[in-house]
């Protein structure tokens, strides 16, 4: 079951606190200028329209800049350390070093999944809505074009497990077998 926690209710870092404060100031400015000031001054903004527009533009730029500067996603890894995720548009095709899923001494895991079963997982998990992959008949454009990216098994597996950018993490939603299957399907069919 999905649960949604309010972002402002429990900010956990300085970045989230800054975003919450700037957002609250922007909302307060909007409410005051729309509801309070016109009641006291029906001619609002009147001759001060340029000052009001400049102040509104300043709030808009401040909010957008704060999102760009402070809005990086952070996750917690297994050791409890905060880790900043990589946007899906910046995924490289370099294999991730790991000692799990068959890898030894930092070597990338070998492709162990069933690509035929992986095609079904790709479809049922909603991957086709975001990614272009000719082998799956998908033309999504939210995530990267997998036919152009041509990621290897380890890269796909890491991205499916951890997520990043707009892509959600599928660890806990898909079984290890399903993750291996979809990783095998994408890595063996991307670009073909």
Q: Which two tokens stand for residue 61?
A: 């730029």
The predicted pLDDT at position 13 comes to 64
Asked if residues 102 and 109 have their Cβ atoms less than 8 Å apart, the reply is yes
Question: Residue 129's CB: how many other CB atoms inside 10 A?
Answer: 13
81, 67: one domain: no
Q: For residue 142, give the 3-state DSSP assignment.
A: coil
The predicted pLDDT at position 73 comes to 58
181 in a structural domain: yes
Percent of the chain, pLDDT > 70?
A: 71
- CA dist 12 and 65 (Å) reads 20
Question: CA dist 134 to 43, 97, 155, Å?
Answer: 59, 28, 19
119 in a structural domain: yes
Which region, left, alpha or beta, applies to residue 98 given φ > 0 means left and ψ of -120 to 50 means alpha? beta
3 in a structural domain: no
Number of structural domains found in the chain: 2
8 in a structural domain: no
Residue environment code for 38-51, b if the CB has 16+ CB neighbours within 10 A, otherwise e: eeeeeeebeeeeee
66, 41: one domain: yes
Q: Which two tokens stand for residue 101?
A: 């899923």
Question: Is pLDDT of 147 > 50?
Answer: yes
- CA dist 91 and 87 (Å) reads 7
Over residues 92-131, the pLDDT tens digits come to 444 444 434 444 444 444 568 888 998 999 888 889 888 9
Pick the last residue of a domain from 36, 55, 71: 71
In the chain, what is the straight-line distance between the N-terminal and C-terminal CA atoms, in Å?
37
More confident residue, 6 or 161: 161
Residue span of the structural domain in which 41 resides: 14-71
Residue among 25, 16, 20, 35 nearest 56 (CA): 25
The enclosing domain of 135 has a CATH number of 1.10.760.10
4 in a structural domain: no
86, 163: one domain: yes
Least confident of 12-16, 53-57, 61-65: 12-16
Strand partners, 74: 84
83, 67: one domain: no
CB-facing half-sphere around the CA of 45: CA atoms within 13 A:
12
Over residues 5-18, the pLDDT tens digits come to 444 444 556 777 87
């Amino acid at each position: 079951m999905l649960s949604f926690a309010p972002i402002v209710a429990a900010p956990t870092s300085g970045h989230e606190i800054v975003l919450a404060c700037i957002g609250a100031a922007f909302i307060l400015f909007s409410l005051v200028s729309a509801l309070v000031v016109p009641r006291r001054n029906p001619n609002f903004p009147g001759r001060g329209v340029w000052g009001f527009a400049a102040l509104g533009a300043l709030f808009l730029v401040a909010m957008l800049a704060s999102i760009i500067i402070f809005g990086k996603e952070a996750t917690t890894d297994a050791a409890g350390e905060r880790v900043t995720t990589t946007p899906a548009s910046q995924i490289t095709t370099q294999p991730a070093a790991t000692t799990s899923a068959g890898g030894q001494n930092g070597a990338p895991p070998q492709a162990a999944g069933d690509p035929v079963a992986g095609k079904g997982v790709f479809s049922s998990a909603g991957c086709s809505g975001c990614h272009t992959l000719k082998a799956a008949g998908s033309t999504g454009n939210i995530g990267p074009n997998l036919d152009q990216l041509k990621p290897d098994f380890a890269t796909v597996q890491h991205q499916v497990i951890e997520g990043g950018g707009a892509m959600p993490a599928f660890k806990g939603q898909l079984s290890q077998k399903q993750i291996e299957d979809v990783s095998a399907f994408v890595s063996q069919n991307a670009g073909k």
